Structure 1
Amino acid sequence: MNILILGATGFIGSAIAARLLADGCTVTGLARNPDRARVRQPAVRWIRADLEKMTNVADWATVLEGQHVVVNSAGALQDGLSDNLAATQQRAMMALQQAAEPAGVTLIVQISARTDGAGSDLPFLATKRAADIALAASGLPYVILRPSLVLGRNAHGGTALLRALASFPFALPLIHADSPVETVAAEDVASAVSAAISGTLPPGSDIELAATERHTLTSLVKLHRAWLGLPDAPVISIPPALARPVSWLADLAGHLGWRSPLRSTAMTVMSEGVRMDRPARQGLPTLSAAETLADNPSGVQDLWFARLYLLKAPIIAGLSLFWLLSGFIPLLAPEQASAHFLPFVPVGAAMAMTIITCLIDIALGAAVLVRPFARRALAGMLIVSLAYLAGGTVLEPELWLDPLGPLVKVLPSLLLTLAALAILDER
């Protein structure tokens, strides 16, 4: 059977792909950037496509050719530079539904969410709800699966945030610490998709997936802390009002293309918790959170990831501030700044070189804040820093002995830039 998976490079989509390959299906993955996925999962046939640009029925003709089942595991939390929820979660899905029957698709499996409760009117849930309603009314065979908070060997979004919070030293700062949280294993979501494709789940099913236990955010974070091998720590409950500046900054980062789990949509949903209203369907596996973590023992790489996850934003912001200030401060006194060049070039050329280097610094400091440009900006920082070190060493070697260390201070900047490059990938 030929299966097309939307969002196949994602946390949930990759688990579904692995399960369906094990079931003997022929799997095609749709992703915006599938290059690394081809190396990770060579058994999957990969197609490069952007759901945001597939909002017309004709856009799906080639993609759906020969496919029997479509599994939609694509999604995003909030609108931003990298995501358009109305396009990807609603209009593209409606276009897919219209194109499915003429293409011979016999089933659509939609990975959705609980779309009522807190945040139900926000674009994240409103667009999912609109796509679910349209699918149910389309006349196509379908199964809608609504997982609670998904846990697994890997981590992304809310799961990654749990691990990061669990790794805090000395104390655990939590917002909505007593909110209820239900979980489901990524493998259980994949098993439910497999059951839908095999016919175990009848077409027209709309199922919430969650283990029978219910945690609070506090107990779930502490469970992850023990999984990471860290000793217990007290919880500091932070009032939601004090967290609003963090959400505001996370939303701003979202407009620049960064997908922070601390954005206002996540905070609104967590104010009520992640819980399901319907009883779990009998016959579907539902590992508890403890069982899920026990089946995937942590290693040192998990502890590193947890500790670095929340440091990523300060590292990028710190590098940006360093380069912006390096560019702006000399412009306050350009004559003084250009004095370093005067022994080697005329006054006009020295001033021009000063202004050019300042503009380069400012451009790099601004570009690193924009997610699509961040990798190139970090590479530029490395190149320019090495050029500054080489130039300074040749022209003014005595700067290495300067008490203020203008050249020595470039070295930790280089290391921080390399660290930022190392943790830049999101998937």
Structure 2
Amino acid sequence: MLKEIDAVVNCAGALQDGPRDNVAAVQFDAMSALYGAAAPSLRIFVQVSARTDDVATDTPFFATKRRADAALRASGLPFAILRPAVVIGRTAHGGSALLRALAAFPVITPLVFGQSRMQFVSLDDVTDAVFDALSGDIAPGSDIDLASDQTLSLAEAVAVHRRWLGLTETRTVRLPGLFARLTAHIADLLGRLGWRSPLRSTALEVAAGGISGHARDSGRRLLTLAAALDLYPAGVQDLWFARLYLLKPAMFATLSLFWLLSGIIALLRFDVSAAHLVSAGATPTLAAIATVGTSLADIALGMGVAIRRHARAALIGMVTVSLGYLAAATVLAPSLWADPLGPLVKVLPSIALTLAALAILEER
């Protein structure tokens, strides 16, 4: 496979096991196969890894990276291992996205591990290091930490991001460790449904111990966090992203509960639900069939939107079904549009929320 390839750069990684990720397969098995497939003429294998001897060392994320790095050293291939700290670039994902979201939190800044020490490196500095490894300026056999020599607390890092977003300072509120454990359990559960939350237990274990690197080992002058952010002045799109980031799970949870409860309540109060259709002119048999069918559809959509691989189809289904409900009700019972309780009018904001959720579904 790599017969005519003279250099390989590996940046693959997975934070935690889930329906969409297998940490061992991505970070060790695939790498071992790649080492074996490399031609003897390979000039350099650049491994973008992580510091694996500091905190959370026993987690599958760091354990498999450590094994893959050791296997690379033992493979006989010319290599360079780069170990970046928290990477800051123009776009955000995972931990860097969470930093922006915390920075945009209104009124207060809620933090659990506010005093944890962190180091950062700009994406430009990482790509420069990769280029240097490919060009030979970084000697084969090198193992280099990439981190600015500036160490910040998590609270300070969030404050830097807040200034970058153009927001005024807020008061930091320290949350108890119980909150972190509860959040991690919920995020791990969502991870089993395919959602890659940066609040899963592996990430919080790392955050509790801090993220650092031995900048003195690299011999490189790397940008501080503020300088890295200054390379990409924040625009309104960055503020929107930061504010929507923590709203996204709330939006999906709201939609899931709304549709689940709609279907369940309709079944629990079957006679009342069917009676509404009978009063609109349906026969009792048709009303019963329609009540069961629509209730099961509501429940299926509520469950589907909670599962990442089915979320897009479920959201589209919600909009389609909602429009179908409105059309049917308009034909069968147009007076409901004037009902003081607004049973049809209230469907419209539900459709709007669904469209908003569909717009921000993708992670990258």
TM-score, structure 1 length as denominator?
A: 0.83
The alignment status of 1:313 with 2:249, answered yes or no, reads: yes
The alignment status of 1:267 with 2:201, answered yes or no, reads: no
The alignment status of 1:203 with 2:127, answered yes or no, reads: no
Counterpart pick for 1:212 among 149, 157, 161? 149
* Paired residue secondary structure (1:279): helix
Question: Where does 1:113-128 land on structure 2 (aligned, <5 Å)?
Answer: 113-128=50-65
Asked if the contact 2:3/2:39 (under 8 Å) is kept, the reply is no
- CA displacement at 1:285 relative to structure 2: 4.1
Q: Deviations over 1:208-230 (max 9, x none)?
A: 00011111111110000000000
Structure-1 separation of matches of 2:285 and 2:5: 66
Structure-1 separation of matches of 2:31 and 2:180: 34
Distance 1:331 1:410, change over 3 A: same
Distance 1:278 1:211, change over 3 A: closer
- CA displacement at 1:424 relative to structure 2: 0.7
Q: What is residue 85 of structure 1 aligned with on the other side?
A: 23
Asked if the contact 1:211/1:280 (under 8 Å) is kept, the reply is no
Gaps of 5+ in 1: 1-60
Q: What is residue 330 of structure 1 aligned with on the other side?
A: 266
Q: What is residue 227 of structure 2 aligned with on the other side?
A: 291
The alignment status of 1:110 with 2:47, answered yes or no, reads: yes
Structure-2 separation of matches of 1:339 and 1:386: 22
Asked if the contact 2:117/2:211 (under 8 Å) is kept, the reply is yes
Q: Deviations over 1:191-217 (max 9, x none)?
A: 000000000011111100001111111
Structure-2 separation of matches of 1:65 and 1:81: 33
* Paired residue secondary structure (1:317): helix
Structure-1 separation of matches of 2:296 and 2:232: 49
Q: What is residue 141 of structure 1 aligned with on the other side?
A: 78
* Paired residue secondary structure (2:144): strand
Q: What is residue 97 of structure 1 aligned with on the other side?
A: 35
Asked if the contact 1:167/1:225 (under 8 Å) is kept, the reply is yes
- CA displacement at 1:97 relative to structure 2: 0.5
The alignment status of 1:71 with 2:9, answered yes or no, reads: yes
* Paired residue secondary structure (2:121): strand
| Higher RCO (CA 8 Å, separation ≥ 6 residues) | 2
Q: What is residue 166 of structure 2 aligned with on the other side?
A: 229
Structure-2 separation of matches of 1:398 and 1:368: 32
Letter matched to residue 91 of structure 1: D
Distance 1:359 1:186, change over 3 A: same
Counterpart pick for 1:177 among 81, 104, 114? 114
Q: Deviations over 1:18-56 (max 9, x none)?
A: xxxxxxxxxxxxxxxxxxxxxxxxxxxxxxxxxxxxxxx
Structure-1 separation of matches of 2:171 and 2:126: 33
Distance 1:367 1:400, change over 3 A: same
* Paired residue secondary structure (1:426): coil
Structure-1 separation of matches of 2:286 and 2:348: 28
- CA displacement at 1:241 relative to structure 2: 2.0
Asked if the contact 1:212/1:280 (under 8 Å) is kept, the reply is no
Gaps of 5+ in 2: none
- CA displacement at 1:278 relative to structure 2: 5.7
- CA displacement at 1:255 relative to structure 2: 0.7
Farther off after superposition, 223-232 or 115-124? 115-124
Counting aligned pairs with the same residue, the percent is 54
- CA displacement at 1:108 relative to structure 2: 1.2
- CA displacement at 1:153 relative to structure 2: 1.0
- CA displacement at 1:404 relative to structure 2: 1.9
Letter matched to residue 67 of structure 1: I
Asked if the contact 1:101/1:140 (under 8 Å) is kept, the reply is no
Q: Report runs of 4+ in structure 1 exceeding 3 Å deviation.
A: none
* Paired residue secondary structure (1:131): helix
Asked if the contact 1:382/1:414 (under 8 Å) is kept, the reply is yes
- CA displacement at 1:336 relative to structure 2: 1.4
Letter matched to residue 106 of structure 2: P
Q: Deviations over 1:349-385 (max 9, x none)?
A: 2101110000110000000011111111101101001
The alignment status of 1:339 with 2:275, answered yes or no, reads: yes
Distance 1:263 1:337, change over 3 A: same
Q: What is residue 299 of structure 2 aligned with on the other side?
A: 362
Structure-2 separation of matches of 1:117 and 1:183: 15
The alignment status of 1:301 with 2:237, answered yes or no, reads: yes
- CA displacement at 1:74 relative to structure 2: 1.3
Structure-2 separation of matches of 1:322 and 1:390: 20
Structure-2 separation of matches of 1:311 and 1:340: 35
Q: What is residue 382 of structure 1 aligned with on the other side?
A: 319
TM-score, structure 2 length as denominator?
A: 0.97
* Paired residue secondary structure (1:101): coil
* Paired residue secondary structure (2:82): strand
